[in-house]
Structure 1
Amino acid sequence: MSEDPGTLWIVATPIGTIGDLSPRAREILGTVDLILAEDTRRARRLLSHLEVSVRGRLQSLHEHNEEQKVPSLLAKVREGKTIALISDAGTPVLSDPGYLLVRAVREEGLPVCSVPGASAFTTALAAAGQPPLPATLCGFLPPRQGPRRRRIAELDVASWTLVILLSPHRLARELADLEEVLGGERRATLLAELSKRYERAFSGTLSELARGKEAEKPRGEYVLVVAPRDLRGGGDADPEAVRAEYQRALTEGMDRRQALRATAQRFGIRRRNVFDLVASDRENSRRD
């Protein structure tokens, strides 16, 4: 190992407006020994616009080669080389490759420094008008409906605001699944083209967003910020509506456990709440 080990720099890049890149980020990109990017073509265009000469310093790092490249990159940092990791847009690692490399460098006790900047997560959360904390970044949803619906249900285990990256190619289908699993009355804000010329935002219930113009003709990149369960439109779930939905699920052939889960997902409440409402209804019936 070199007496003076190198540094792995995590450098945020703009998500839409080139002027959002900080002078410090520009300086680091211009001086490091190596730049790692998920898409080298996009990175080359960005660096050319910044008048940063690549000079053989640009390499790819993506989900298919990251594990294989970690040992050689780790060796470079040990030898004193400086490396900058960038993503196609925004802050690296959060929804992009790089975690394995960062972990390896950290475990080796070598320097990892983050250069703050643009992030779709924080930008959307700040502008959405939904409760900002606690919140969780959910990344992109699976492309297939079955895994997608299961993933949505898994994400909604706590009363947290959800920040979800949506694919423009699947926008209508993803909004429909979110409506189905989380409940149509759940409040949310759909943001498009953040920091770009045609930035726009739409707030309403998931039902309204799923049937809106944006779902019919998607254009650009989307982030959805979904309010916590207990802050969805309409206040607390109507007990009679919950009981009716539970009975409907049973009538359709679900067993009690499945009916509890389906009803809880439909209204965005806990299964325990559904159970308590159904149990109280049974108790009242016995007394009568």
Structure 2
Amino acid sequence: MDTTAGTGRLMLAATPMGEIGDASQRLRDALGAADVVAAEDTRRTRALAKALGVEITGRVVSFYDHVEAARIPMLLDEIAGGRTVLLVTDAGMPSVSDPGYRMVAACVERELPVTCLPGPSAVTTALALSGLPMERFCFDGFAPRKSGQRKQWLGTLVAEPRAVVFFEAPHRLAACLADAVDVLGPDRRAAVCRELTKTYEEVVRGTLAELAEWAVEGARGEITVVLEGAQPISAAPADLVDHVESLVAKGLRLKDACAEVAAANGASRKELYDAVLAARSD
């Protein structure tokens, strides 16, 4: 971290997801010392500072989705003028499905210093609690809201060997898991993590079919889902034709569907493509 006096910088800081004790000393120091605090919700940030026993001496400005673009030029000028801008969101790390990345990109473009105060993250917390293999993983943000788009997105995960982490709204969780059963099958394992680090934290693990049945009763709070990576299984191309055709019926191109199914099942993509064409001709 550049500590040269008079050098402006952008500081991204992770904030607690629920448990106030997760706040780092660096976050406390930054809240009290920053010239400008750019907050997703200024009221929540002031409440956080009060709970931490910190007095915010700098200027507090709102920085949420609808004002992000308008705020960036002003914040860039502050940094270029030698001031420190602290960017925080309501919970977790800025830029991870929250405002922030556009600000970072703008600083990079103008060659202004950027640093990060690490801390709580729903993504890595959910992975650690999932009980699923996670040596390799990817993060997909929020699942698409509409069923058709959601099924298309799930189709891209049929052969994904990495664990997949995504966020979902509680009122859409049951529908999302039902779509996952349709597209990925009932036996794929997953974990639904609810209210991480908070009083009513809950982690429900099982197959997609089991989780879909559980979710029908409704879930509350902030939801993070971890999906097990696809397990390669060797199979004869002829046995995979129906799977390919089901993906094609959902909108995938034949070549793309063959590539996904072949990768997930340890089959030859060319042999599978030929098998589909042969089945169609029959």
Give the alignment's TM-score, normalised by structure 1: 0.81
Deviations 1:126-162 (A, max 9, x none): 1111121221111111222222222333455642110
RMSD: 3.6
1:167 touches 1:221 (CA, 8 Å); kept in 2? yes
Distance 1:88 1:184, change over 3 A: same
Deviations 1:152-188 (A, max 9, x none): 3345564211001111121111111222222222111
Please report how far the alpha carbon of residue 87 of structure 1 lies from its aligned counterpart in structure 2 after TM superposition.
0.9
Q: For 1:174-253, what aligned pairs fall within 5 Å after superposition? A: 174-212=176-214, 214-230=215-231, 242-243=240-241, 249=246
Distance 1:282 1:75, change over 3 A: closer
Aligned AA for 2:104? Answer: V
1:182 touches 1:265 (CA, 8 Å); kept in 2? no
> 3-state SS of the aligned residue for 1:229?
coil
Distance 1:267 1:46, change over 3 A: farther
2:93 touches 2:120 (CA, 8 Å); kept in 1? yes
1:24 to 23, 26, 51: 26
Distance 1:239 1:90, change over 3 A: same
Please report how far the alpha carbon of residue 274 of structure 1 lies from its aligned counterpart in structure 2 after TM superposition.
7.8
1:111 to 102, 110, 113: 113
2:31 touches 2:55 (CA, 8 Å); kept in 1? no
In structure 1, runs of 5+ residues without a counterpart are none
Task: Please name the residue that 2:72 is paired with.
Answer: 70
2:46 to 29, 44, 47: 44
Q: For 1:119-198, what aligned pairs fall within 5 Å after superposition? A: 119-154=121-156, 158-198=160-200
1:12 touches 1:118 (CA, 8 Å); kept in 2? yes
* Aligned length, in residue pairs: 277
**Structure-1 separation of matches of 2:193 and 2:209:** 16
1:60 paired with 2:46, answer no
Please report how far the alpha carbon of residue 272 of structure 1 lies from its aligned counterpart in structure 2 after TM superposition.
6.7
Please report how far the alpha carbon of residue 76 of structure 1 lies from its aligned counterpart in structure 2 after TM superposition.
0.3
1:95 paired with 2:103, answer no
1:5 paired with 2:16, answer no
**Structure-2 separation of matches of 1:31 and 1:255:** 54
In structure 2, runs of 5+ residues without a counterpart are none
Please report how far the alpha carbon of residue 41 of structure 1 lies from its aligned counterpart in structure 2 after TM superposition.
2.5
2:141 touches 2:167 (CA, 8 Å); kept in 1? yes
Please report how far the alpha carbon of residue 281 of structure 1 lies from its aligned counterpart in structure 2 after TM superposition.
9.1
* Percent of aligned pairs with the same amino acid: 38
Please report how far the alpha carbon of residue 52 of structure 1 lies from its aligned counterpart in structure 2 after TM superposition.
2.6
Give the alignment's TM-score, normalised by structure 2: 0.83
